[in-house]
């Protein structure tokens, strides 16, 4: 089999959606003639850990590790919680403290493209011997963190090999980029590095059509859309007895569904049966502004924060929930971001309530697969109508999801598409 070197930061025991993509690609690549060799940091600073994922690492896969120096260790001496939040991409948008402003300014202007930049040069040096010894002809870098693409860039300059850059998220157009307090020179540096990566890589993989269109303005290199997906075969599971509406993943200030909370408040006040049955479940980090809005609407007793759940626990909650909630802010910057959770939602075969901007690619996938209903961010009439219709179906024991075409998003099918692109 042809050997492929995969350079990634997130790998078990890292938790969260970032680890799933290449964990699953490496699982299926051997079936299509490729032997992955995975290169990861030896001592990473993962903001989320899921020990259960270690059991999903493909048996016999070669994993190479080298130490990494990250700034989050010394930064945590100032504030462990704030440092962990910034490391996770959780940025306080409203009324940040002076310390948060300082940490963000340092992160944005001293660590370009990101805080893992110190791993670039040592990795290029270490991997040079690996490439020669293993006879590797193809390398794949995946970001964020986008500093890993600079490892690919350095290796491409040194050796005659094929380099594929995989962008799980955009680079300079990602939503939190504007919150990093970048100087004009730092903004320019980011754009220069992004352009150099996109024009130097032999091929580019992205997770959405809109990201592909964005990158096509920068490069003429081949770009392939390979979305995230699902992998787990689910066993039949009884549904929750209550009218549960579940959201998986962080729900931060920038994605606070204010109109949704107001509609839930109205329905609780107007409909006694709804009031007695509804429960909104939030799995993951919940922002302070979200909690404040919930309190202002008097919904504390109707909202259940689940905290961080392991991947196995997430799958169970999704499958048992009456409704799955998918959210995005009403912004041009987010239209091309398809949350990885969507594909596991599809696999759960429960109705999806997608609330986001008009033209949102994730919402379009929900509509195309007939997996639920899509409402524009501030359309309270749409939200109320959908929830009342689905609540009536729930009362009659007929709240079902008859989706179509979901199989195209299975990880094996996506890996086949990747293998053909390689």
Residues 342-377 pLDDT 10s: 999 999 999 999 998 888 899 999 999 999 999 988
What mean pLDDT do residues 144-168 have?
96
Which one, of 352, 373, 369, 350, lies nearest residue 407 by Cα? 369
Residue spans per domain, the chain: 2-226, 243-406
Tokens matching residue 315: 């799958």
Whether 215 contacts 204, CB under 8 Å: yes
Q: How confident is the model at residue 250 (pLDDT cuts 50, 70, 90)?
A: confident
Rounded to whole angstroms, how far apart are CA atoms 234 and 222? 36
Which one, of 328, 378, 374, 329, lies nearest residue 353 by Cα? 374
Cα distances (angstroms) measured from residue 77 to each of 34, 99, 112, 131, 402:
44, 12, 22, 38, 51
Place of tokens 């499958």: 319
Query: Given a cut of 60, is residue 72 above it in pLDDT?
Result: no
CA angle 65, 66, 70 (to 5 degrees): 120
Give the phi and the psi of residue 244 in degrees, each rounded to 5.
-85, 135
What mean pLDDT do residues 252-278 have?
93
Place of tokens 């964005």: 214
Place of tokens 């890292």: 14
Whether 205 contacts 418, CB under 8 Å: yes
Fold exhibited by the domain 2-226: Rossmann fold (3.40.50)
Rounded to whole angstroms, how far apart are CA atoms 322 and 207? 28
Rounded to whole angstroms, how far apart are CA atoms 19 and 10? 5
pLDDT of residue 77: 38
Q: How confident is the model at residue 107 (pLDDT cuts 50, 70, 90)?
A: low
Q: Which comes out higher in pLDDT, residue 415 or 251?
A: 415
Q: Could you tell me which residues come within 8 angstroms of residue 129 by beta carbon, excluding any fewer than 6 positions away?
A: none
Query: Given a cut of 70, is residue 126 above it in pLDDT?
Result: yes
Q: Which comes out higher in pLDDT, residue 278 or 81?
A: 278
Helix (H) / strand (E) element for 108: namely: helix 98-110
Helix (H) / strand (E) element for 191: namely: helix 184-200
Whether 112 contacts 192, CB under 8 Å: no
Query: Given a cut of 80, is residue 236 above it in pLDDT?
Result: yes
Task: Return the HEC string of 279-309.
Answer: EEEEECCECHHHHHHHHHCCCHHHEEEEECC
pLDDT of residue 322: 98
Specify the 3-state DSSP secondary structure of 33.
Answer: coil
Q: What is the CA radius of gyration of the chain?
A: 22
Specify the 3-state DSSP secondary structure of 326.
Answer: strand
Q: Does domain 243-406 have CATH number 3.40.50.2000?
A: yes
Establish whether domains 2-226 and 243-406 are of one fold: yes
pLDDT of residue 51: 87
Rounded to whole angstroms, how far apart are CA atoms 10 and 340? 15
Cα distances (angstroms) measured from residue 60 to each of 2, 35, 56, 205:
16, 10, 12, 26
What mean pLDDT do residues 377-401 have?
95
Place of tokens 């990885």: 340
pLDDT of residue 105: 59
What mean pLDDT do residues 49-78 have?
80
pLDDT digits (tens, 9 = 90+) for 298-331: 999 999 999 989 888 999 999 999 999 999 875 6
What mean pLDDT do residues 381-391 have?
97
């Amino acid at each position: 089999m042809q050997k492929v070197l995969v350079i990634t930061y997130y790998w078990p025991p890292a938790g969260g959606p970032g680890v799933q993509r290449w964990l699953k690609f490496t699982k299926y690549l051997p079936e299509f003639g490729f032997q992955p060799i995975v290169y990861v940091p030896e001592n990473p600073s993962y903001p989320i850990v899921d020990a259960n994922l270690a059991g999903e690492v493909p048996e016999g896969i070669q994993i190479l590790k080298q130490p990494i120096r990250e700034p989050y260790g010394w930064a945590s001496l100032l504030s462990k919680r704030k440092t962990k939040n910034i490391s996770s991409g959780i940025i306080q948008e409203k009324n940040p403290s002076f310390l948060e402003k300082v940490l963000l300014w340092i992160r944005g202007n001293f660590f370009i493209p990101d805080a893992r930049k110190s791993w670039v040069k040592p990795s290029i040096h270490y991997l040079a011997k690996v490439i020669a010894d293993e006879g590797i002809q193809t390398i794949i870098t995946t970001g964020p963190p986008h500093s890993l693409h600079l490892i690919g860039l350095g290796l491409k300059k040194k050796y005659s090999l094929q380099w594929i850059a995989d962008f799980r998220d955009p680079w300079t157009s990602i939503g939190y980029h504007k919150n990093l307090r970048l100087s004009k020179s730092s903004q320019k540096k980011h754009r220069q590095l992004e352009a150099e990566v996109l024009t130097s890589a032999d091929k580019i993989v992205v997770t959405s059509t809109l990201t592909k269109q964005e990158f096509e303005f920068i490069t003429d290199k081949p770009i392939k859309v390979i979305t995230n997906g699902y992998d787990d075969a689910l066993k039949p599971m009884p549904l929750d007895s209550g009218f549960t509406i579940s959201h998986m993943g962080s729900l931060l200030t920038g994605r606070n569904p204010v109109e949704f909370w107001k509609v839930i408040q109205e329905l609780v006040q107007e409909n006694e049966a709804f009031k007695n049955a509804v429960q909104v479940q939030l799995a993951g980090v919940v922002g302070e502004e979200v909690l404040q809005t919930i309190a202002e609407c008097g919904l504390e007793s109707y909202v259940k924060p689940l905290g961080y759940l392991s991947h196995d626990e997430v799958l169970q909650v999704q499958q048992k929930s009456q409704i799955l909630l998918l959210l995005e802010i009403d912004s041009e910057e987010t239209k091309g971001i398809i949350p990885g959770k969507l594909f596991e939602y599809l696999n759960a075969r429960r109705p999806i309530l997608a609330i986001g901007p008009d033209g949102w690619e994730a919402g379009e996938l929900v509509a195309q697969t007939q997996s639920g209903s899509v409402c524009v961010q501030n359309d309270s009439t749409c939200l109320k109508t959908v929830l009342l219709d689905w609540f009536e179906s729930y009362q009659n024991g007929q709240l079902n999801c008859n989706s179509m075409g979901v199989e195209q998003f299975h990880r094996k099918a996506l890996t086949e598409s990747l293998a053909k692109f390689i």
